[in-house]
């Protein structure tokens, strides 16, 4: 397509050149335009077409038919040796008129033509300003031309200086609004005045800008500073010096800097800095972006462009703040217990460097000596200790410059004080992926509560301790908390609310999810046994990914085989560890079909597998022998 477009353009240009060549020849006649072929917009022109002697039709001059075309559109005609036409309303730009002769039984013959240029007088150039980039640069000026004249327009830029010196530069570009004199102003007389003026001229008139007067200090814009570097003395963020190079006459600098992840700049103005400045209050272990600009005079002139950015990371400092530590206990046997510690990462502003490891100290209070000291790179740690005695743990974070203050917690029975247990704990979905946990203070000791801790982890039937533990702390005045971190939709969470008071704690728990649907499948019955006239149904738990939230109930359905009656069912509250339930209402020597479903707050699952059973009284040989049948939705 591009090649085809270029070919058409070339053909058009060739044809236009051929027409113009014929117009220029005008061998058969002339076309005259009055008052001029260049006119002001809105003017009227008279166009005359006259045949030269013996250039008309051969048979009879009365058959001469002169036709005037505007581009390719016929606008007037006349029989004879001449034609006159008055034309108005011509648009800006160039309009082509062609005069042709039409004779009987022959093609039209081109006589002559004329181009009429319609334009306007140049507007007064505005906003003339001049600048010299750098002490060794040259003076260049820019201006606003105003509206397009649509005519050939010449711009002349003139600069006058001391001692009657004058420089002049011209441009004949149709869109000229910039000229460079190619001369350099020197600081020998920084207060000497220079005056610039630009004049626009075309065939309809001329216009000049207001003169612009300035001094060396007004128009010289320094080059941006270069060779920027930073130095941290003794690898300390509090001893930071920024260095750079400038042109010799620079008096004033401005510095701006920001953390690389920020959009807001910190600004500093300095006078007579001589290429260095001490920076204060930088954050440790943070990548910063630095830029510098320069100026020759406090009041005159303009700032240089900003320098290229320097990016540098500040040194580390000793961590501040303290770790948020939590723990859980698990009994192993009558004499031992496992303590699992968890802690959250320090924030970037608290870590103030790369955390290399964590230091854990476990101490038995009655003995008064450190029992275990450990260094780990993880955010959790477990150990086994006796179930007797009072224990305390201290955890701190370390980087290359030092360690944070240790967080100390007492290992206690978090649920040992029943009077401290929060009441009426409930959990409801809130927002996009949040869970709102609500509770009531302990009835008998609300003022003793020092803080609440809300803990949540994914519910797993087998109580897998490797499931990540999450927690948040809440002041004693709060009776609700929003869980919004590390929460997945359609997953059931086991939620504990702990009320802590010194060395004591009380707890209550509930289940919650941020989103729920009906379970995708029902429980799978794996065994049916008869026990003293009742039937014990055993099943496999629904896979976690198919539960679609917190299960509330199981239902066991049964009906006589081949019966069209509605099935009976019993509803069992969901408990994590439960996988069997007895049924007492089946009649002996009757064949029943049994199946199970599960329910969340959103609805009931499809049924699980079907099993047949026929009670044989004391003979249980037939129980559970029928093969499973496919579950029906």
418 — pLDDT class (breaks 50, 70, 90) = confident
pLDDT at 631: 33
Rounded average pLDDT over 207-217: 94
Paired with 362 in beta bridges are: 372, 393
Contacts of 143-146 spanning 24+ positions with Cβ under 8 A: 143/177, 143/198, 143/209, 144/177, 145/175, 145/176, 145/177, 145/200, 146/122
* CA-derived radius of gyration, the chain: 48
pLDDT in tens, 146-175: 999 999 999 999 999 888 889 999 987 778
pLDDT at 408: 93
Instruction: Report DSSP state, residue 345.
Output: P
Domains of the chain: 25-119 (2.60.40.10), 126-220 (2.60.40.10), 222-313 (2.60.40.10), 325-407 (2.60.40.10), 423-513 (2.60.40.10), 524-615 (2.60.40.10)
Helix (H, G, I), strand (E, B) or coil at 608: coil
pLDDT in tens, 403-415: 999 999 988 888 8
By DSSP bridging, strand 109-119 and strand 38-40 are parallel
What is the spatial distance between Cα 465 and Cα 455, in angstroms, rounded to a whole number? 14
Closest alpha carbon to 497 in 505, 507, 487: 507
pLDDT in tens, 216-264: 999 999 999 999 999 998 888 888 999 999 998 999 999 999 999 999 9
Cβ-based neighbour number of residue 100 at 10 Å: 20
By DSSP bridging, strand 470-474 and strand 504-512 are unpaired
Instruction: Report DSSP state, residue 629.
Output: B
CB 237, CB 278: distance < 8 Å: no
pLDDT at 368: 65
Closest alpha carbon to 469 in 326, 324, 575: 326
Rounded average pLDDT over 183-208: 90
CA atoms within 13 A on the CB side of 598: 29
pLDDT in tens, 591-609: 999 999 999 999 999 999 9
3-state helix, strand, coil in the chain (%, to 5): 10, 50, 45
pTM of the predicted protein model = 0.67
Q: Which residue, chain included where needed, has tokens 């390719």?
A: 72
């Amino acid at each position: 397509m591009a090649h085809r477009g270029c070919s058409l353009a070339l053909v058009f240009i060739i044809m236009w050149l051929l027409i113009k060549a014929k117009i220029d020849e005008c061998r058969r006649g002339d076309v005259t335009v009055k008052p001029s072929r260049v006119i002001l917009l809105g003017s009227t022109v008279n166009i005359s077409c006259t045949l030269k002697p013996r250039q008309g039709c051969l048979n009879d001059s009365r058959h001469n038919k002169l036709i005037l075309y505007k581009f390719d559109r016929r606008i007037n005609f006349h029989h004879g040796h001449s034609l006159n036409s008055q034309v108005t309303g011509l648009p800006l730009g160039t309009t082509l008129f062609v005069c042709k002769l039409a004779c009987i039984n022959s093609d039209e013959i081109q006589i002559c033509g004329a181009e009429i240029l319609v334009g306007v007088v140049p507007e007064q150039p505005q906003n003339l300003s001049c600048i010299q980039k750098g002490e060794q640069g040259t003076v260049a000026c820019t201006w606003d031309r105003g509206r397009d004249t649509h005519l050939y327009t010449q711009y002349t830029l003139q600069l006058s200086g001391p001692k009657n010196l004058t420089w002049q530069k011209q441009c004949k570009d149709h869109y000229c609004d910039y000229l460079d004199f190619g001369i350099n102003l020197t600081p020998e007389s920084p207060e000497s005045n220079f005056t610039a003026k630009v004049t626009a001229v075309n065939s309809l008139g001329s216009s000049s800008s207001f003169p612009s007067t300035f001094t060396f200090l007004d128009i010289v814009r320094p080059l941006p500073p270069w060779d920027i570097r930073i130095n941290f003395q003794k690898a300390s963020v509090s001893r930071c010096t920024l260095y750079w190079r400038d042109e010799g006459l620079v008096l004033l600098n401005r510095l701006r800097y920001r953390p690389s992840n920020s959009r807001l700049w910190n600004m500093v103005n300095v006078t007579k800095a001589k290429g260095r400045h001490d920076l204060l209050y930088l954050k440790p272990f943070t990548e910063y972006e630095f830029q510098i600009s320069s100026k020759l005079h406090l009041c005159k002139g303009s700032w240089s462009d900003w320098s290229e950015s320097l990016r540098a990371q500040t040194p580390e400092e000793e961590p501040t703040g303290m770790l948020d530590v939590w723990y859980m206990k698990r009994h192993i046997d009558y004499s031992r217990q496992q303590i699992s510690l968890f802690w959250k990462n320090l924030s970037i502003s608290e870590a103030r460097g790369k955390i290399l490891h964590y230091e854990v100290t476990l101490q038995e209070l009655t003995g008064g000596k450190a029992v275990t000291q450990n260094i780990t790179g993880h955010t959790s740690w477990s150990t086994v200790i006796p179930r007797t005695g009072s224990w305390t743990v201290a955890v701190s974070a370390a980087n290359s410059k030092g360690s944070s203050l240790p967080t100390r917690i007492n290992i206690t029975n978090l649920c040992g004080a029943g009077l401290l247990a929060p009441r009426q704990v409930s959990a409801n979905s809130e927002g996009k992926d949040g869970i709102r946990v609500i509770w009531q203070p302990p009835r008998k000791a609300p003022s003793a509560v020092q803080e609440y801790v809300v803990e949540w982890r994914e519910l797993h039937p087998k109580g897998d301790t490797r499931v990540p533990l999450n927690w948040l702390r809440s002041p004693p005045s709060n009776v609700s908390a929003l869980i919004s971190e590390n929460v997945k939709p359609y997953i059931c969470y086991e939620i504990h609310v702990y009320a802590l008071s010194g060395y004591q704690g009380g707890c209550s728990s509930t289940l919650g999810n941020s989103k729920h649907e009906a379970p995708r499948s029902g429980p799978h019955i794996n065994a049916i046994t008869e026990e003293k006239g009742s039937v014990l149904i055993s099943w496999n738990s629904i896979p976690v990914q198919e539960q679609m939230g917190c299960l509330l109930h199981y239902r066991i359905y049964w009906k006589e085989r081949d019966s069209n009656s509605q099935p009976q069912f019993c509803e069992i509250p969901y408990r994590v560890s439960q996988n069997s339930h007895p049924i007492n209402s089946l009649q002996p020597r009757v064949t029943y079909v049994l199946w199970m479903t599960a329910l969340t707050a959103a609805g009931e699952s499809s049924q699980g597998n079907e099993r047949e059973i026929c009670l044989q009284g004391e003979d249980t040989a037939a129980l559970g022998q029928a093969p499973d049948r496919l579950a029906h939705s």
